[in-house]
Amino acid sequence: MFASKPEDTPTAANSDAIPRHIAIIMDGNGRWAKKRFMPRIVGHKAGVETVRAMVRHCAEKKIEVLTLFAFSSENWRRPEKEVRLLLELFVMALKREVKRLNDNNVILKVVGDCAAFPEALQQEIANAEAITSTNTGLKLVVAANYGGRWDIVQATRALAIEVASGKLDPAQIDEAALERHLSLYGMPEPDLFIRTGGEERVSNFLLWQLAYCEMHFTETLWPDFDGDALDVALSSFSKRQRRFGRTGDQLELGENA
Ligand code: IPE
Ligand code: IPE
Ligand code: MG
């Protein structure tokens, strides 16, 4: 049977406004450092400075959600020393930034399988989330030990538990039911995806949520990504016609509903 209109399809529109939710793969730190004959961790440290600047820019532009890919479930495959330094940097950045985030009314949320992290990091995460949880400004989502496949699997497991306990009839499983268990539940879907560093791939980031996201790839390495580079991405986004399956003619006639 054909559904004439999938439920909950976002309203098709010219995206002349700014995106509500920006999701970024912050890539290129290692190459940034290598170009300067410095260890990769120096690039990661420079990348933290870019994070701070992006949070400020997004808050000023009244973006609702900024999701940043900080550590993928595949990044454990890196040399043990780089993994250790990255996790240490994460602890340090949380300690140093939580006050500033709180002063700026930012809500911090970390998504991913944090149970795999050292206890000290888990504590810093819980602490930063608790301190900022009642804020009302920009939602900063940091994806750490996150993978899009992991997210879908853990949501599927949660549904299976509901079915096994008799709380959920399998016939009731639809997109909304699965979404309720995904890491970004309750937030608007990402409208704009940015990947710095020149690679044009998704690398197991938000697989489910990127279904209708506008993609922007740039050669700029993450530590060099600045307000002007963000404006280039926003300007490109604003010129796109988001059709969500409809035709351009339908949109021009205002058949959005
Ligand atoms: C992204 O930069 C940061 C993380 C994955 C933690 P990379 O470390 O991947 O930098 P390149 O791609 O090697 O330049
Ligand atoms: C993706 O970058 C993950 C993060 C930015 C955290 P990678 O540099 O790990 O991606 P691949 O391996 O080149 O696809
Ligand atoms: Mg990389």
Asked, for residue 168, whether it belongs to a domain, the answer is no
Q: 217: which strand partners?
A: 195
236: Cβ below 6 Å to ligand 2? Answer: no
Helix axes 40-60, 227-238, angle to 10 degrees: 60
Residue 255 binned pLDDT confidence (cut-offs 50, 70, 90): confident
Asked, for residue 153, whether it belongs to a domain, the answer is no
pLDDT at 202 exceeding the cut of 50? yes
Q: Whole-angstrom Cα distance, residue 102 to residue 132?
A: 6
Query: Using one digit for the tens of pLDDT, what is the confidence trace for 118-157?
Result: 999 999 999 999 999 999 999 999 999 999 999 999 999 9
Copy the structure tokens of residue 106: 């930012």
31: Cβ below 6 Å to ligand 1? Answer: yes
Asked, for residue 125, whether it belongs to a domain, the answer is yes
26: Cβ below 6 Å to ligand 1? Answer: yes
Ligand nearest to the CA of residue 79, numbered in listed order: 1
Residue 3 binned pLDDT confidence (cut-offs 50, 70, 90): very low
Q: What share of the chain is helix, strand, coil (3-state, %, to 5)?
A: 45, 15, 40
112: Cβ below 6 Å to ligand 1? Answer: no
Give pTM, 2 decimals.
0.93
86: Cβ below 6 Å to ligand 2? Answer: no
Ligand nearest to the CA of residue 72, numbered in listed order: 2
The phi, psi pair for 141, rounded to 5°, reads -105, 120
Asked, for residue 2, whether it belongs to a domain, the answer is no
pLDDT at 5 exceeding the cut of 90? no
Strands annotated E in 83-133: 107-111
Asked, for residue 80, whether it belongs to a domain, the answer is yes
pLDDT at 8 exceeding the cut of 70? no
Q: How many domains does the chain have?
A: 1
Distance from residue 44's CA to the centre of ligand 3 (Å): 11
Ligand nearest to the CA of residue 77, numbered in listed order: 2
Q: According to the model, what pLDDT value does residue 257 have? A: 54
Q: Whole-angstrom Cα distance, residue 221 to residue 250?
A: 39
Asked, for residue 137, whether it belongs to a domain, the answer is yes
Distance from residue 54's CA to the centre of ligand 3 (Å): 19
Range of the domain at 142: 21-146+191-240
Any idea what the CATH number is for the domain that residue 229 is in? 3.40.1180.10
Residue 254 binned pLDDT confidence (cut-offs 50, 70, 90): confident
Strands 241-242 and 13-14: antiparallel
Q: Which of 16, 29, 75, 228 is catalytic?
A: 75
Angle at 74 between CA 73 and CA 75, to 5 degrees: 95
Q: According to the model, what pLDDT value does residue 256 have? A: 61
Answer yes or no: 75 catalytic. yes
